[in-house]
Amino acid sequence: MKQRERRKIELICSIAELSGLFHGEKGTKRFLEKVVKTVSRHMKSEVCSVYLYDEKRKKLNLVSTEGLNRDLTGNLTLSFGEGLVGTTMKEMRTILEADGTLHPRFKSIENSFEENFKAFLAVPIMRGLNRIGVLVLQHSQKGYFDSTDARALEAIAGQLAATLENARLLMDISRKEQEANQPGETESRLFKGKKVVAGVSQGQIFYMDDSHKEGHLSPEDQKLYRDGIDAFREAVKKAECQLLELQEKMNEELSDIASMIFSAHLLMLQDEAFSGQMAKLIEEDNLPPCLAVEQVVNSYVEIFTASDNSRLQEKVQDVRDLGHRILRNLSHKEQQPGNYRNQIIIAGDLLPSELLKLTAQKAEGIVLMGGGASAHISILAKSLAVPLIYLEDEDVLTLPEYTDAILDANQGNLIILPDEETIEHYEKQSRTARELKEMGASVLDQTHTADGTRIFLRAAINLLNDVKAAREIKAEGVGLYRSEFPFLIRSDFPSEEEQYRVYKKVFDGMEEGHPITLRTLDVGGDKILSYMPENQGENPFLGLRAIRFLLQNKKVFVGQLKAMLRAGEGRDLRIMFPLVSSVDDYRAAVRMVKKSMEFLDRDGFSYNKYPKLGMMIELPSAVMLIDQLTAEADFLSIGTNDLVQYLLGVDRTNSSVASFYQGEHPAVLRAVKTVVDGALKNDCAYSICGNLTNEKHMIYFFLGVGVRSITIEPHRLPELQEFISKIDLKKAREDSEKILTFSTVEEVKNYLKEVLPN
């Protein structure tokens, strides 16, 4: 009995369970307390302690204990090799003793109450060859632990290593903060935010919106820039060359969204009222160039900000951006690139085009102040692979510009003035990330469950940029191409021809033989086209969104459909309509496809005459009509982002209600089951997409209810393939059936935690 219970430990103490606590607002100390409590409970041990290793000082610190004297936490330090715990760390091996107190290396610690505990088991916590710390169990009954326990504890230590490594880092930083008493110019500081796009970057902070700063360029700052009209003209010329080069590069790499993205900059740069005015201030009023740049930029910012015209308001960032570029080119510092390389941008709000411009100019990472960004900013940032967090703590705005920082978007942290140890830690982490990337090469061509059932992992593509990754990682086609980005970033509707070229690149980039699912425009909600009148009303998510918008703007719809049909000629083209709420919607959309074909025939174009047509299931009404919809459609994809939003009535972009946005809600699970059953009944192909597919426990449930095709972000594929290969479908089916009987979210979560394969 004891053995069976213990074996289960490996499953129960999953990293998800423990690191979930860590990500909460409870702090590192509470997390560690929870670790020792959970481990001692599951191992039925009277004592569980965690020691973390301080590499620099070669010391082990007791950071949390259950069973020993708690007063010792934070105060007990052991040298490398000291006592049994120190030996475990030094020799990087497990020590199992029937009676630890008899061991020659045993070191009695005053006031620890340790003398009561005989049985001793300690395992090293390692990440590769990095020493993180030691996990210790003790029990009053001699010989209480056996080798099975040792293996279980080793497994737990392995699972906890990454999180404990982060805990160590955070504790280090907060310790230094306390020691410094007054965090400021020379001491590390940690700002805790919320992760949006994972990743780590290092650089100096730069404020995109510096309206909070008074006084601007001080006499001290001014010394950083060169003087004289020649220096200014040179800086402007350089800016022009840089922008042309950038534009060219963007057209090659991101042709879907970046067309002429820097044209506003170039025009402004050549404008008499802009650079001409700066030159005039330098030549006639004898202003130093940096002040002339600042003055003209500020006056434009003022004019644009005050304008009622939203298009002009958008130009504010362009003007600032340009000012930044000229100033960098004017800088005395050697080889200052005109871009944002080595800079972590702190900004208020960002438009998709602004985000694109920043990343095109090599911004290392983004910190968005305030509540949160719209869904498409996070989606776009993900595709552009730029780490991004939200931060509410406005104290960050008081830091001097160009302060060194590390953005750890994996944890949602901004670390100001990191010390060498921290920098080294993150450099190691990014090496690991690179190694992981190389692991992509070992991905299998096909994905199977443990019992050999074929599962199709298809890519979600936002930008053409993602297509290459999808192919490299061996995605079996495209399950969702979000066509809206070329529309969102431009200042006018892209023409049919432009769209055709973009969609063609999606097909050309993917191997033949796999389905390529192009979704028609999904704008509205929080994805606003700057060139359309804003008639979204109070609740944009309940407004003229997605298929509704297209059915009201038939010219746009037909233009897009024609481009898709042409691009998909000779390939497995699937056209998917988002936010379908009724059979009427679906039929209206199908009629538009037929109309588009008639136009193409009339104009003599060749195109795909037999595309598969389908829809996203994102609304409760579509779930209720699933039998009728699947009887007519060729395929469907469950869009979990919106399905959860509309089923539970929770705005997916509002962070204050994020805790209500629950994929494990029994209503969501039942809806998925209903859709799968409907599709199976009518022999309609089906798949699932959206952020819930990032959660392993949800994948387990989805497979259990019959999902066999999953759409995911390409970089997630290797990990998911491996996870799926451990799933026994028969068991997943039984577990999912059981889960469907639960009435609360908590029951679902707890059950899934227990049954999930490691």
Beta strands in 21-91 (DSSP E): 47-54, 59-66, 77-79
Which of residues 36 and 622 has its CB atom nearest to Mg ion in the complex? 622
Which of 124, 338, 568, 639 binds ligand PEP (CB under 6 A)? It is 639
Least distance from C-beta 687 to ligand PEP, angstroms?
11
Helix extents (H) in 65-223: 83-91, 147-180, 219-222
Q: Which does 559 bind (CB under 5 to 8 A by kind): ligand PEP, Mg ion, none?
A: none
Which amino acid, 381? A
689 lies in the binding site for ligand PEP (CB under 6 A): yes
Range 612-631, binding Mg ion (CB under 5 A):
618
66 lies in the binding site for ligand PEP (CB under 6 A): no
Under DSSP, is residue 615 helix (H, G, I), strand (E, B) or coil?
Answer: strand
Which of 17, 114, 172, 618 binds ligand PEP (CB under 6 A)? It is 618
Q: Which does 689 bind (CB under 5 to 8 A by kind): Mg ion, ligand PEP, none?
A: ligand PEP
Which of 484, 642, 664, 713 binds Mg ion (CB under 5 A)? It is 642
Binding mask 513-532 for ligand PEP (x = CB under 6 A): ---------x----------
Which of residues 168 and 708 has its CB atom nearest to ligand PEP in the complex? 708
Residue 725 to residue 732: CA distance in whole angstroms: 12
Which of 382, 482, 571, 749 binds ligand PEP (CB under 6 A)? It is 482
Q: Which residues contact 286 (CB under 8 A, 6 or more apart)?
A: none
What is the DSSP track for 277-338? HHHHHHHHS---HHHHHHHHHHHHHHHHHH-S-HHHHHHHHHHHHHHHHHHHHHBSSTT--S
CB atoms within 10 A of CB 309: 9
Least distance from C-beta 327 to ligand PEP, angstroms?
38
Least distance from C-beta 639 to Mg ion, angstroms?
4
640 lies in the binding site for ligand PEP (CB under 6 A): yes
Q: Given the rule CB under 6 A, which of 296-304, 560-568, 637-645, 742-750 is the region that contacts ligand PEP?
A: 637-645
**DSSP-derived secondary structure letter, 24:** S
Place of tokens 């047509």: 613
- # residues near ligand PEP by CB under 6 A: 10
574 lies in the binding site for ligand PEP (CB under 6 A): no
Among residues 655, 626, 188, 710, the alpha carbon closest in space to that of 454 is found at 710
642 lies in the binding site for ligand PEP (CB under 6 A): yes
Which amino acid, 46? E
Residue 562 to residue 605: CA distance in whole angstroms: 9
114 lies in the binding site for Mg ion (CB under 5 A): no
Beta strands in 683-757 (DSSP E): 685-689, 709-712
Q: Given the rule CB under 5 A, which of 190-198, 237-245, 334-342, 637-645 is the region that contacts Mg ion?
A: 637-645
Q: Given the rule CB under 6 A, which of 111-119, 280-288, 552-560, 636-644 is the region that contacts ligand PEP?
A: 636-644
Which of residues 295 and 641 has its CB atom nearest to ligand PEP in the complex? 641
**H-helix or E-strand containing 116?**
none
Which of 690, 704, 706, 714 binds ligand PEP (CB under 6 A)? It is 690
Least distance from C-beta 690 to Mg ion, angstroms?
7
What is the DSSP track for 372-441? ---HHHHHHHHHTT--EEEE--GGGGGSPTT-EEEEETTTTEEEES--HHHHHHHHHHHHHHHHHHHHGG
Range 345-384, binding ligand PEP (CB under 6 A):
none
- The angle at the Cα of 197, spanning 492 to 439, to the nearest 5 degrees, equals 115
199 lies in the binding site for Mg ion (CB under 5 A): no
Which of 639, 706, 714, 718 binds Mg ion (CB under 5 A)? It is 639
Q: Given the rule CB under 6 A, which of 265-273, 553-561, 594-602, 634-642 is the region that contacts ligand PEP?
A: 634-642
641 lies in the binding site for ligand PEP (CB under 6 A): yes
286-305 as b/e, with b when 16 or more CB fall inside 10 Å? ebbbbbbbbbbbbebbeebe
Distances from the Cα of 508 to the Cαs of 60, 570, 717, 741, in angstroms? 56, 12, 21, 46
Read off the tokens for 260.
């002429």
Q: Which residue is nearest to ligand PEP (CB)?
A: 690
Residue 407 to residue 405: CA distance in whole angstroms: 7
Q: Which does 467 bind (CB under 5 to 8 A by kind): ligand PEP, Mg ion, none?
A: none
Decide if 688 contacts 456 (C-beta within 8 A).
no
Least distance from C-beta 21 to ligand PEP, angstroms?
27
Least distance from C-beta 724 to ligand PEP, angstroms?
20
Least distance from C-beta 649 to ligand PEP, angstroms?
15
Under DSSP, is residue 444 helix (H, G, I), strand (E, B) or coil?
Answer: coil
Under DSSP, is residue 528 helix (H, G, I), strand (E, B) or coil?
Answer: coil
Least distance from C-beta 711 to ligand PEP, angstroms?
8
Read off the tokens for 502.
């973009």
Q: Which does 640 bind (CB under 5 to 8 A by kind): ligand PEP, Mg ion, none?
A: ligand PEP
Which amino acid, 247? Q
Q: What is the CA radius of gyration of the chain?
A: 29
- Give the footprint of ligand PEP on this chain (CB under 6 A): 480, 482, 522, 618, 639-642, 689-690
- Give the footprint of Mg ion on this chain (CB under 5 A): 618, 639, 642
